[in-house]
Structure 1
Amino acid sequence: MRARLLTALLAALVLFPAVPARADTPELPDRIAAAWRTDHLSVDPRLAGGIPATELTRIRAAMRTAGTPVYVAIVPSTPPLREVSYNMPTLLHARIGTPGLYLLAVVNGTYWSISAELYRAGGLRGRELVSVQNDDKQRLDVVTDRPAPPIVRTIQEASTALDGRPLPAVPAGDLEPPHEYSDHGLSTTDKEDRSAYIGMGIGGFLGFVLTLLLGLRRRRKTTPKRIKPPAKDDPPIDTWDVQLKADDRIKAAERAVARLDRRRNRTTAQLDRRDDAYRRLDAARTLRADHPEDLLASAGALILARQAERVASGAALQPPCFFDPTHNPGTATVDWSDDVEVPACQQCASVVRRGKTPRGLRVWSKSGLLGHDRKQVPYWTLEPDNPMVASGFGALSDDLPERVEAWKDEVR
C-alpha cells in the first residue's frame, strides 16, 4: 500500500510541470492597443450591449472626418483606472506610435468623462488641443449622460487644433436642457449674486462714464506731456495679461461649478468634484483679492481657476508647467535638478531635453550689495516662503489651495 502511494506521488510530480501556467491578464493599455489594431473604436466587453448603436455610429462618422487618425477607447470607471486616467492617452500613444488623436471615454454611472491628447506628425504645427477646448464656449454645455456628444465634440476640437477649421455648433440635442439655466434652477443665493453682479456692472459703467468725462475736460486744460519710457522697476510686461487671464478663468470656473451645483441627482463622485472645484476656486479668489498686483499671485489664481473649471466639468486634473504656469498644462515629465521629475508643457519639455533651461516665468528680484538693483529672474530661484514658489504652482505637490489658505493666515 505504501509503495503504491509513493508511486502515485512520483507520477504526480512528473506530470505537474506539464500543466500549462495560467497567463497573466494583460494591462488595460495593452488590451486597448491590441483592440485598436483591428478597430480604432474599442468598446470594453463589460459595456457591450449597453451602448446604443446610434451612439457608436455617430462616433465613427466623426472619426472618419477628423482629418487625422482617431483612436477611441470606451471603458468603465474602476479604481485602478482613476489613478492613471490622466496618463492613459500618453500610454496608449506609446504603444501605437502613430500620430493622431488618442481619446479615452470613461463612464461612471451615467456620467461620461473624456481624456484626450493630440499628437502631430513631425514638423507639423498648430494649436494645442487644450487651448481650443478652453476657447470652446459650448463645451461646458454638452450633455455628459451619453458617450457620443462629448466624444464627437472632442474630435471636432482636435480638428480645429490641427488645421484651424472653425468649430461647428453643437446640435441642440447634445446640449443641456434650457431649464438648467432658468430662474427655476437657480437657488436664492444664485439670484442674489446675479442681482449684485448686475448692480455692480451698472455702477461700474456709470463710474467709467463719469471718469471719462472728467478726463476729457481736464485734457482740454493741459498741454500734452511726453510719455516717459518704463522705469527699470516697472513690473514685467506680461503682468496685466496674466491678471486678465486669471479673472477670465475665474469667471469660467464659476460657471462650470454653478452648472455642476445645479445638476440633479448628483453622484458621490460629482459631489466630491464639486467640493474640490470650490476649494480651488476659493483659493484663486483669495489670491486675486489679497494680492491683486502681484504676478506670482495672479499666475497662481490662473492655475487654480483653470483646475477648478476642469474638475467641475469632469475632465482629468492637469498639473501646471513647472517652468511657466501660464503655458499649457504640464502634459510631459522631464528630469530637473537633483533627479527631480517635474511636469512641463511640450515647449519647455523640448528645451530641457536639449540640455537647456527654459526661460520660465520671470519676476523682479533685488540684487547688488545694498539691494538697490533689480533684475528679472526665474521664479523658482526665489526663497520658498511664497506658496507658489514652494509648490511650483502646484506642479511639485497638489496642495496649493491649502498653502494659499495658510499663507493668508500668516499674512494676517
Structure 2
Amino acid sequence: MKAVLRIRTRSLPGLLLALLVIALTAFAPQATAATGVSTIAAALRESPVYVDPAAAGQLSAAEADTLARQIKDANKPLFVAVLPADYPTKDLFTDLRTATGVTGLYAVRLGDRFDARADSSVLSRTGVRNLVTSVQGEPAPTQLTDFTDRALTNLGGRAPSSWGGGTSGSGVSGTALITVGAVVVAGGAGAYALVRRGRRRHAEEQRAALDRLRVVVDEDITAFGEELDRLDFHPSEPGADDAMRGDYERALNAYDQAKQYMSDARRPEDVRAVTQALEDGRFSLAALAARREGRPLPERRPPCFFDPRHGPSVTDATWTPAGGSAREVPVCAADATRLADGRDPAVREVDTDQGRRPYWDAGPAYGPWAGGYFGGGLLPGLLIGTALGGWMSAPAYGADYGTGYGDFSSGGYQGGDLSGADFDPGDFGDFGGGGDFGGGGGDSGDFGGGF
C-alpha cells in the first residue's frame, strides 16, 4: 500500500500541470482562433471592407472606413477582407463567395500576401489577374488603396443594397422622378421643351459619334475586302475540297454582312456586329490558309490587340500602356517580334481632336468597335488603366453607347445581385499547388498558386 501511495504522490505534480494547461486553454482569449467564413461574409454584407481583429495592424479603422466610403460612393460590388497570415486558405474564396451570396469582386490580404477573385459577369479573369499583379509587394494600406482605385474604374455591376449609403439605383431613380415631376408641375410646357432639347442633343451626339466611328469601320471593311481580292483561291481549283470551300464562303459572307450591318447602323453600339463579322471572316481566311498549306488548323484566338486588321493573334505578350500597369495582350506574329526586340508595336491610330491617337485613347465611341473584336470577357482586362476602359466602366457609358462589350454588362447576375450559391466556382477556384500566393487572380483555378 505504501508503494502505491508513493507512486500517486510522485504523479501529483504532473496531474496538477495537466490541469493547469487545461484551465489556461479553456480561459485564455481565443486570439489565434480563425474567424469563421460566415462571420466574415455577414460583415461584408453590411460593409465592403472587413478587417479581422487579429489583422488590425495591417489596416487601421480610419483607413478601413475611408476605403469603405470610396467603394460605397462608387456603387460597385467590391469586397475587401484583411485576414491574419495564418488564416486557413483551403476553398477560402469559393466558401466566402458562397456564404456572402453576392456577385462581385472579392479581394483578400493575408499577412503580406494578396489575391482576388471575381464573378465573370463583373470582371474577367484576365482583368483580375492584371489588377492583382499591378499591386504586388506594396504595403497593406497602399496596396488596398491602389487596388480599389483601379478596380473601381473597370468593375461592372452595382453595390448590394444591404450596404446602404452611397448611390443606389433606386435612390437615383426616385430623385430623378421627383425632380422631373417638380419641373413638370412648375414649368409645364417649358419642361417639355427642355426634355425635347435634351433628346435632340443626345441624338445629335450619337450621330456625331457614329460618323466618327464610321470612318474607322469603313477602313476595316476595305482592308478585309482587299485581303479577299489578294487571295489566290478558286473553289474549283485542283486540290480544293469542301472544307476549303466552306472557309472561303464564310469569309465572303462575313464581308457582305459587315457591309450590310454598317449600312444599317444607326447608333454607335450597332457597330459591334460589324467588327464581329470581320473577326469571323479573318479567322475563316486563316483556317483556309492552313488547310491549303497542310498545317494544323489555327486555334480560335482574338485578333491582334494593337490592330485587329493584323488578323488573329498567335500568342500573348506582355505590354504596358503609358501610365498603366503591365498586362498580357493577344498579338500577331509581327507585333510579337517587335515587342521581343524592344520595338513599339504597329498600333491602330485614329483621328481625334488632339490628332492621331491609339484607339484606346480616342473616345468612348470606340467601345462598341473594340467590343466586337474582343468580346466574351477579354476586353475589360485588356483596357484596364486606359481611357477607353475608364469610359466603358462609367455609369453614363451604357446609356450612350450600349452595354455588353466584353462582359462589362453581359447578362446574368450582375454585381451586387443576390445569387447565393448560384455562381461559377471556376471563377474563384481553390488554394493548392506550389508557388507564391498573389500570382494573379486564378490563372489555373488556384489562389495564385496556393499558400
- Normalising by structure 2, we get a TM-score of 0.31
Larger Rg: 2
- Normalising by structure 1, we get a TM-score of 0.33
